Chains A and B, each alone.
Chain A
Amino acid sequence: MSDGDVGNADCDVNFSYILPVVQQTFMQRYFHTSTVVSKVQSGRYKITINRNKPLTYEMANPPHYIAHRKSWNSWNTSNIKDGNRPSETATEDMFIRKFMWGTWPNLFASEVIIKRQHNIIRIAGIITRTLTPYKIYFLIGYTEELLSYWLQCPIKVELVTIDNKKQMIFKYI
């Protein structure tokens, strides 16, 4: 019984206060607020339920570890102060990566590392041994020559081979 009484009383009280509350909310609507959007997601991987997602060393370290635990994928001096051709370098690197991805289909087990020194571009990476060595040599020759025609500077390809892509796994998350 007492419960019912209280409920009724509450109802009455609430009803009498509704109007001011509504008015108040209208007044407060002038201030727009939202949650702080500062979540950083790029270069980080979500943990799976079974913790069975394999990560390479490069993937396992988020971007803030660059220069501490891992290194850059592009080495150049374009982006320092008064650097030379920064935008061209970026697009060329993108082009090189796409080219390598297409020319060496499903062979690269690591990122394509591009290092620029003077007028030389050195392209490094880890590939799997799915092709016979002479085919790899063919592709090396082809890549070096064609890219040097395109970028008009000497190109060197520096590869390391591994048996299996699983050898690249650093940890599971």
Chain B
Amino acid sequence: MEVVEPCSKRRAASCTKTIACPCKTKYKRYVQPSRAKSFAPEHLYKVPSTQFEDRTTYHLSYLNDRAAARCARLQPIRPVHNLQKSTDKFFDETTNKLSYKPVRQTVKAEPIIPKRRPVTTTDTMENVTTVRHDYGAKHVERPEMIIPCGNIRTSLAALDDKTMARLSYVSPGPIEPVISFNPILEYRPSSQPLPKETTQKLSYQPFVVIKKEFLPWAQKPIYKSPEIAMCGKTTYSESYMENDEVSVEKPFLPVATYVFPYGAKFADKTIYKESYLPGNVERMVPFVPCGNISISDAKMSADTTSKLSYQRVWTEKQKPYLPRTKTMLATAKMQSDTTSRCEYVAKTTLRPDLIVPSDNIRTVDVPLEGETTTALSYVKPDMIKPVRSYKPVMQYYRKLYQELIVRLQSTATTSASSSDIQIPNRIERGPTDILKALESTISRDYTAPHYKFHDDPFLIPQSNMHNRSYALAKESGRKTAMWIRQEHRDLFQHKVADPEIKAFVPLSIYTEESKVTEETLLYEISNGNIVNCIAIYDLLKGEMTIPTKQTLLELLCFYNNSERTDEWLETRWYKLDQKYKKNVWLSYSQIDVLFEFLKEQEPKVAAAAYTAMICGLAKHFSLDKALYLYEESQGKSIPLSVDGYNAMISIIPLLRKENSLKSKSLLMNIYRTMTVNGITPNIHTFNAALNVATTLKTNEVLDFTKKILADITKFKLKPSLTTYYYLLRILSNFGDASYNSFIKILTSLKNETITIQNEKDLNFFVVAMEMASQQFCDRQVGEMVNELLLTGENYKFISNNLREHIYYRMYLELILATEEFENFFKLYSKLVPHVTIPEPIMMSAILEALKLHPAQTAMQYIPKLWSHIIMFGHLNREELMKNILHLMSVHCKPLSDSPLNAQFAEMALTIWDHIQTQNSKRLQHVLVSNIIMGNIILLLLRGNNFTKTIEIISLLIRSPHLIENGQTITAEHINEIFELCLAQAHVPAIFTLLEYVTFHSLEGAGEMAGKLYKTVSLTPNQKNILASLVGNDVLELQISDEN
């Protein structure tokens, strides 16, 4: 708070100070405001007017009086003295004494005390020991010493100067220095004078140092020596007193001490002197060596110790055994009586003739089957083929056997063999043939998942989605590994495998530093590595031969510069086919440059270039450009190869759509060109023509097709699977009339090994099964197709997940439509889930079919189908739910006391829970049809699950939008629900139902209320609720009506 007060007051307050306030300014100062009075009630202690009652329960319970408390204590219970001591003697015979009586008969064994033996005798020790006694001293004369007699001589000649070291290290003599070819740096002053004005000089002008200004204030004072002498008495000189004259201390010299009494001397007679008496011994004259090591001139005695000791032994030397000369061998006869001959007398029995197998080992005429492990792994066989045996064919020959018996029995040699031995031809076996034979013994296990999945409960895929994600995840892992190898390629350069395996080595990368040649390009082309090919091509700058350019162009046109994606197995298996045939060709500079170059070359090269280009364009549906190039080549009269023409024919059906050209005339045109250029058509030409035929109108198709087929036979071509595919497509237009032709196609394919030739081959089996199922609906035909698919390696024509699905859907539908359900279900349990997983539509069809069977039959299939529906994740499919709920609630309605009711209720609960979880997950609610809802409630009620029923119905009251189209539960369902509740007399459930009915203003609320009132005796409270639900008047009306 601020208070303004005039200065005068302040002055008055500080009047004692000397300094007066100079002006009339007003001072501000802070004054503490007075505290507001609190309105809180004051706490004051007031003495109570009335006294509290003294005799409370507490007081009465606990006695306050100490004396009284002491009195209240219980009297101690003292023990009565009733223990009396007996005066008698203790009884002597205790149990212990009686049990262990002393044994008196035993005599103690006397201890055996060791005898004392005299250790030492008093006699003297005997002198004669065993050793002394046995070994008498021998007297042996010492052999005379053999003194060597001077036969060691030194050489008189001077030592040779040429030592090894000297000879090795000969001085090399003067060496001419190696002429250095380094350029000699020599300074030559340039003829022209250097310009004086260098950049340096011009840039840095001489800097003139300005003469230093004389600034008197900046001058430093000059030192002047002091005039007054410094004081001599420093602290230092005062502190240290002057030393006295240092006198060197005199050494204390030892003074002669007198140990002995004065004048005494050491005795002369020491023990030493006395011990060693002086002896008159002549000193030994030292033997002075007088050069007595002299080389004696005499010969050294040859009789050395060694020689004398070891006397020479005269023995006769054994003659060496020399091998006999060849001539001797020729002259002398070898001894024929060997030991074995002597001992073993020749037997009279003759050796039986050799029995050579005649003609019973046969080679198989049929080529080996190509059923490799891989092929079988990716095969879904149906009919298990009998395992082919590679054992030699054994046949029982009666004649041969008889002959054998005769030969063995007869000892005579005259049993001539009647038949000539035929040695079978050797069969050429490949390195993998034995493996093939082994793997042909393995067939598909229908109880296990596909080999690409892990056989572990957790890792086995359950649904189509799992199948896809697991297989692709595995491949994704492999791709990651490949990427890592490529990223860290320097770490993966080690070589373990010998020979090197290219697939394990990281792909080479070509940069500007790498040396590339045409061979590298050709190598990369053979690998089909497009990125590297382009890189090398760019590095080579087009310097390569024409054939290489041609191959590169072909590769680039085939893939249109894009990366290869076809090497990943699973990616390809799960890839969807390109549906729309639109132009996907992208033009790249490399292709254009190559093509521009090649088409200017000689006609043959140009033709190949045009062919490659047209094939590539046709493959990528770039129709206009293909047509343009084709016309250009025709204009230049360059004959294309057969592939080029085939490509052109294959795009005719697509051209027609855009250009409204007459396809037939265009085809004829191309035919004509081919004949003019003398080009023989192949099967692909006619396949393309058949493709054209499929687009024609029905009335002209037949003639046209016949013509093409006639052409095929005329050229003696073998129809491929594509041919049959197009034929099937044409046949499908003719309905049942095509049945015979269809069968004919199948029988002609039956015993053939089909090889894949075209992409369209893959469509054959799907179309065939579709026709068998949809068009003919004939079990036999379907089985024929299926059998054909499972023979040999034909399963590879499925090649795609989608195709496999369609194929099996068609197959199962066919069996479902034509066979007994029992038989169908056998097949179903074999194929599902490991071979194929049916789609919801298929499941729905199966359930529909079940409805046609009696309840008893249908009942036994429901559990398995239900578990499959949950497993495959089909709970979202409304159609499917509707069908299965209908089956459970209506078609196979169990008796009221059947245990099935509980199971069905559980299944209904599963569906309801699924709907609820879906609702909680999604923003948009799952809409359920009213029939499904009604059935769920019914099944729950039949299983006596009232709490869940009430929960569902009350939820439906609160949120009626859960049922689609704003519908409500049907009247029949409501009635049945009511009846069920009434039978159990479950009043709360009926109340909830009534609430639902009245909320949605449905009919029948009144009747239900009346019925409830009649049958169940209600409490007054319940009656009130009932009245409030349906209205009092309605209720009374009902009751009166009933009465």
Contacts and interface: CB of A to CB of B under 8 A. Distances in A.
Interface of A: 129, 133-146, 148-153, 158-161
B477 A153 contact: no
Interface in B480-501: 480-482, 484-485, 492, 495-497, 501
Contacts of A159: 454, 456, 459
A140 B474 contact: yes
A152 B497 contact: yes
Q: What 7 A-B pairs come out closest when comparing CB atoms? A: A141-B477, A142-B477, A145-B481, A141-B474, A146-B481, A152-B497, A145-B478
A153 B473 CA distance: 22
A23 B438 CA distance: 84
B11 interface: no
Contacts of A134: 466, 469-470, 473
Contact of A149 (B470, B485, B495): B485
B485 A137 contact: no
Contact of B485 (A138, A146, A153): A146
B492 A161 contact: no
A142 B458 contact: no
A133 B466 contact: yes
A140 B454 contact: yes
A137 B477 contact: yes
23 contacts: A129-B458, A133-B461, A133-B466, A134-B473, A136-B454, A137-B454, A137-B471, A137-B473, A139-B477, A141-B476, A141-B478, A142-B478, A143-B481, A145-B478, A145-B480, A145-B481, A145-B482, A146-B484, A149-B504, A150-B492, A152-B497, A152-B504, A161-B456
A137 B461 CA distance: 11
Residue from the set B477, B484, B497 with the largest chain A CB neighbour count within 10 Å: B477
Nearest to A160: B456
A143 B459 contact: no
Contacts of A133: 458-459, 461, 466, 470
A143 to B, nearest CB: 7
B501 A141 contact: no
A52 B857 CA distance: 56
A145 B469 contact: no
B377 to A, nearest CB: 13
B573 to A, nearest CB: 14
A144 B475 CA distance: 10
A152 B503 CA distance: 9
A142 B473 CA distance: 9
Contacts of A149: 481, 485, 492, 504, 506
B481 to A, nearest CB: 3
Nearest to A150: B492
A129 B495 CA distance: 37
A136 B481 contact: no
Interface of B: 454, 456-459, 461, 466, 469-471, 473-478, 480-482, 484-485, 492, 495-497, 501, 504, 506
A48 to B, nearest CB: 33
A100 to B, nearest CB: 14
A139 B100 CA distance: 83
Interface core residue of A144, A152, A159 (most chain B CB under 10 Å): A152
Nearest to B461: A133
Contacts of A160: 456
Contacts of A135: 473
Contacts of B495: 152
Nearest to A151: B496
A141 B571 CA distance: 14
A7 to B, nearest CB: 33
A68 to B, nearest CB: 28
Contact of A161 (B458, B470, B501, B504): B458
A158 B455 CA distance: 9
Given A134-B470, A138-B477, 4 more contacts: A133-B461, A137-B471, A141-B473, A145-B481
Contacts of B456: 159-161
B582 to A, nearest CB: 33
Nearest to A163: B458
Contacts of A138: 473-474, 476-477, 480
Given A149-B504, A152-B501, A152-B504, A137 B481 contact: no
Given A133-B459, A137-B470, A144 B485 contact: no
A86 B537 CA distance: 46
A151 to B, nearest CB: 6
Contacts of B482: 145
A141 B496 contact: no
A161 B475 CA distance: 20
B478 A144 contact: yes
A63 B196 CA distance: 94
A156 B784 CA distance: 38
Contacts of B478: 141-142, 144-145
A145 B570 CA distance: 15
B570 to A, nearest CB: 9
B772 to A, nearest CB: 36
Contacts of B466: 133-134
Contacts of A129: 458
Given A148-B504, A152-B504, A153-B497, A142 B480 contact: yes
Nearest to A143: B477
Contacts of A141: 473-478, 480-481
A141 to B, nearest CB: 3
Contacts of B461: 133
Nearest to B497: A152
Nearest to A157: B454
Contacts of B496: 151-153
A20 B734 CA distance: 128
A145 B473 contact: no
A150 B497 CA distance: 10
Nearest to A153: B497
A137 B474 CA distance: 5
A125 B868 CA distance: 31
A141 B485 CA distance: 14
A142 B984 CA distance: 61
A123 B842 CA distance: 40
A145 B473 CA distance: 13
A135 B473 CA distance: 7
Nearest to A119: B497
Contacts of A151: 496
B704 to A, nearest CB: 50
Nearest to A126: B456
Contact of A140 (B457, B477, B504): B477
